[in-house]
Homo-oligomer: A and B are copies of this chain.
């Protein structure tokens, strides 16, 4: 079965047997997973049919037509976006059986434990230690910028298992149970007042060796799969209409507040509007490249431009709003997410957008990547290759 039509038939047959209106969501989704209809590209026997990822949209369409229960992929964004592809690529059959189904049904939420206070752009320099103790590993260290850690059952943990070899060679990759005494999750408050993220502290936390993904010392390679899937998710999968991004707020404000207009603000807005519209077209072109099966490196450019425009447009908004731009809605700490809070006002957008050039790869790292991988410019002289991790200056 390789065609779109075959897959659609299979979905319709499933729906005929499991009427969504008459079946509770949990039961429906469980059956859907077992029928191999969770995701076309998941392995056979683990929620999928081992097909190309691109076929999934056909299945989604049929499920939507048939009134299937909404899966809300945002609830387990790291599980679906990063954990699943990594487990599929590196997991044993037992591991796939244990984790994929409750991940997909969102019964178990996942988080990613990579970044550390001392290892941001230089992720491979991380210092959280995992020491073998019988069939288990004992974990000590600190992770940071961890979304969903406070809701997660499982964490994707990259830890140092051998400090005596060069930094990339001494890492291993684990799935750690977040519900154990040695794991402490603290909210990490941001300059917006919110705490979208967490710090995670490990004090003699334990992870069975059976929860290791990939070989000992091969953690860097496993992590690349996780990160590559993080980057894939940045591109949009459908066309975005004009004035649907940050520029929408600015344009609306300009149109409704004629008393605040000046020539200077007008020229700046015209320029930002044009840049935002061109960025939208570039995003659409990227989407068309992906759809045509010829993905280009332009995604990195899109992220750079996205960050800069969000920052400049929200800066303009404050300047335009003048007195009103000096008000903020609420500084009290609460959980929240950038996506839902984006309508909170210019002040929030201005502050939150500062992170757009840091999170998911800083703009500096992206420029390095473009310069070296796209333009083929030579690397800088390195001083950290061939040196044992423990001997590196820090």
Q: Which residues of A contact B (CB under 8 A)?
A: 263-264, 266-267, 270, 380-381, 383
**6 closest cross-chain pairs (CB), A and B:** A381-B381, A267-B267, A263-B263, A381-B383, A264-B267, A263-B267
In the assembled complex, the Cα of A267 lies from the Cα of B266 at a distance in Å of 10
For the complex formed by this chain, how many copies does it contain in all?
A: 2
Return chain B residues, CB-CB under 8 Å to A381.
380-381, 383
Question: What are 8 A-B interface contacts by the 8 Å CB criterion?
Answer: A263-B263, A263-B266, A264-B267, A264-B270, A267-B267, A380-B380, A380-B381, A381-B383
8 additional contacts (CB under 8 A) given A264-B267, A381-B381 = A263-B263, A263-B266, A263-B267, A264-B270, A267-B267, A380-B380, A380-B381, A381-B383
Min CB distance, A387 to chain B, in Å?
Answer: 13
Judged by DSSP, the binding face of A is helix
Return chain B residues, CB-CB under 8 Å to A267.
263-264, 267
In the assembled complex, the Cα of A270 lies from the Cα of B270 at a distance in Å of 17
Return chain B residues, CB-CB under 8 Å to A266.
263
Closest to A267 in B: B267
In the assembled complex, the Cα of A383 lies from the Cα of B381 at a distance in Å of 8
In the assembled complex, the Cα of A380 lies from the Cα of B379 at a distance in Å of 13
In the assembled complex, the Cα of A381 lies from the Cα of B266 at a distance in Å of 46
Return chain B residues, CB-CB under 8 Å to A264.
267, 270
In the assembled complex, the Cα of A216 lies from the Cα of B264 at a distance in Å of 61
In the assembled complex, the Cα of A125 lies from the Cα of B141 at a distance in Å of 47
In the assembled complex, the Cα of A263 lies from the Cα of B263 at a distance in Å of 7
Return chain B residues, CB-CB under 8 Å to A383.
381
Closest to A383 in B: B381
Closest to A264 in B: B267
Min CB distance, A180 to chain B, in Å?
Answer: 42
Return chain B residues, CB-CB under 8 Å to A270.
264
In the assembled complex, the Cα of A109 lies from the Cα of B207 at a distance in Å of 80
Min CB distance, A266 to chain B, in Å?
Answer: 7
In the assembled complex, the Cα of A267 lies from the Cα of B268 at a distance in Å of 9
Min CB distance, A312 to chain B, in Å?
Answer: 16
Closest to A270 in B: B264
Min CB distance, A316 to chain B, in Å?
Answer: 14
In the assembled complex, the Cα of A383 lies from the Cα of B267 at a distance in Å of 47
In the assembled complex, the Cα of A381 lies from the Cα of B270 at a distance in Å of 44
Min CB distance, A168 to chain B, in Å?
Answer: 19
Which of A263, A264, A267, A383 counts the most B-chain CB atoms under 10 A from its CB?
A267
Min CB distance, A99 to chain B, in Å?
Answer: 43
In the assembled complex, the Cα of A82 lies from the Cα of B331 at a distance in Å of 61
Closest to A265 in B: B267
Min CB distance, A282 to chain B, in Å?
Answer: 23
In the assembled complex, the Cα of A380 lies from the Cα of B383 at a distance in Å of 11
Min CB distance, A265 to chain B, in Å?
Answer: 10
In the assembled complex, the Cα of A162 lies from the Cα of B240 at a distance in Å of 65
In the assembled complex, the Cα of A205 lies from the Cα of B381 at a distance in Å of 39
Closest to A381 in B: B381
In the assembled complex, the Cα of A267 lies from the Cα of B264 at a distance in Å of 6
In the assembled complex, the Cα of A270 lies from the Cα of B267 at a distance in Å of 13
